Structure 1
Amino acid sequence: MNIGGFHPASFNDFPGRVAAVIFTQGCNFRCPWCHNAELIPAAAPAGADLYAPEEILARLAARRNKLGGAVISGGEPTLQPDLLDFCREIKKLGLAVKVDSNGSRPEILAKLLAAKVVDFLAMDIKAPPAKYEQLVSTKVDLEAIRRSIALIAASGLAHQFRTTMVDHLLTAADLDEIRRLLPAASPHKTQPYRPSQPAEQEG
């Protein structure tokens, strides 16, 4: 795991639970509104610290009586080759696991689901299909996005789809089109754009 940030306790990243948040380094999208832009490159910026997975697991173990779960966010967690094993180790600590994803790698989400190592999945829906590549600044396999939506919706797990509403990039009509991509029973949350902020907080 390439871990670029750690937040020891959050009250709003895992619905219903106090959770630590683990930020993976590296993302395959280049969203201009990303609030953790320093996590986009596969390698951390010069001078930035990376965390060893063993260190993070030790810190979770020390806090497990105060935590209800751990969130693996990013960056894009599904780019990490040992994500499944890392989730499994967190589950061994008795913590619930939430994974935040952009949905670009449904094959990895399928492996997580098959292994039963996640308790909550959140997927960011960036834009309506016609605007996807423009807004994330790279090529996008839209069929992969649709497969991820279907996998998550049919998983039986608690889940959430989210869209960051950047007023000068998305319109109300765009938001309606995004919602039409989603099953009616799946929750969809819009969140306001927040300026870039550090992913790492000590504690």
Structure 2
Amino acid sequence: MEKLHIGGITPFSTIDYPENLSAVFFFQGCVFRCPFCHNSEFQEVKKPYYSFEKFKKFVEERQGFLDAIVFSGGEPLLFDKELVFLAEDSKKSGFKVGLHTTGYSPERLKNLLDKKLIDWVGIDLKSVKENYPFACGIDRNYFDETVESINVLKQSGIEFEVRTTVFKEIANSDSLREILNLYSVLGIETPVFQVFSVDGKPDKEIELILEKFKLENNENFIIRK
């Protein structure tokens, strides 16, 4: 495998794999066009340029320092063969492997889990079913696929989190309550609400709305900035 669809790297991160120091590799390309995307520069698929040799060197130089390698995007499952290859190499090098995904393909996710290549997953639950196309910025509704992916994770036994990015249109009590009810139906005990970022900085107004809602309703969810 000469070239990889890797569009960027975060060499050190304390937030992309909970309680672990990780490096994050961002795959190019995504099936969604979320208007609130934190990594919109990776939505389009561009020419592969990152070599496996470069990946291998990066990983080997960080043995004993990093705990985990995380694959994000974009959507890593779009290039599942590359993902399997890189996850296998990361595991052989002694790292835990994390995955960030939209959950659009439960089949590809299950294949990775069956191969015992993933230790932790962060999966996005964009919205309730009727609002899913709007939240994803596309016509097709991937809500059912996402729910199936969450069920696959529940059955796998690995650690995972389900998170929803809170943007302006859903930063109100009615919408938040509706989404929390969905988490409850899905059996997710600790929802994660990510604050929409503007130019890399959390939106303060949305952050305050979430904190007020949590305090007034005594809700058990995590606010991630």
Shared fold (TM-score, shorter chain, > 0.5):
yes
Correspondences of 1:1-203 after superposition (within 5 Å): 1-43=4-46, 50-82=49-81, 83-138=83-138, 139-182=140-183, 183-197=186-200
Larger CA deviation: 64-73 vs 53-62: 53-62
**Structure with bigger RCO (C-alpha 8 Å, 6+ apart):** 1
Following TM superposition, where does structure 1 have runs of at least 4 consecutive aligned residues deviating by more than 4 angstroms? Answer: none
Gaps of 5+ in 1: 198-203
Instruction: Check conservation: 2:120, 2:159, Cα contact below 8 A.
Output: yes
The 3-state SS of whatever aligns with 1:121 is: strand
Larger CA deviation: 23-32 vs 166-175: 166-175
Deviation of the 1:186 alpha carbon:
4.3
Instruction: Check conservation: 1:124, 1:161, Cα contact below 8 A.
Output: yes
Q: What one-letter code is carried by the residue in structure 2 that aligns with 1:101?
A: T
Deviation of the 1:16 alpha carbon:
1.0
Aligned equivalents of 2:189, 2:24: Cα separation in 1: 23
Deviation of the 1:185 alpha carbon:
4.7
Residue 200 of structure 1: aligned partner: none
Deviation of the 1:140 alpha carbon:
2.4
Among the aligned pairs, what percent are the same residue?
31
Deviation of the 1:60 alpha carbon:
1.2
Using the size of structure 1 for normalisation, the TM-score is: 0.88
Using the size of structure 2 for normalisation, the TM-score is: 0.80
Deviation of the 1:170 alpha carbon:
4.7
Gaps of 5+ in 2: 201-225
Larger CA deviation: 186-195 vs 176-185: 176-185
Aligned residue-pair number: 193
Aligned equivalents of 1:64, 1:186: Cα separation in 2: 34
Tell me which structure has the larger Cα radius of gyration.
Answer: 2
Aligned equivalents of 1:13, 1:150: Cα separation in 2: 22
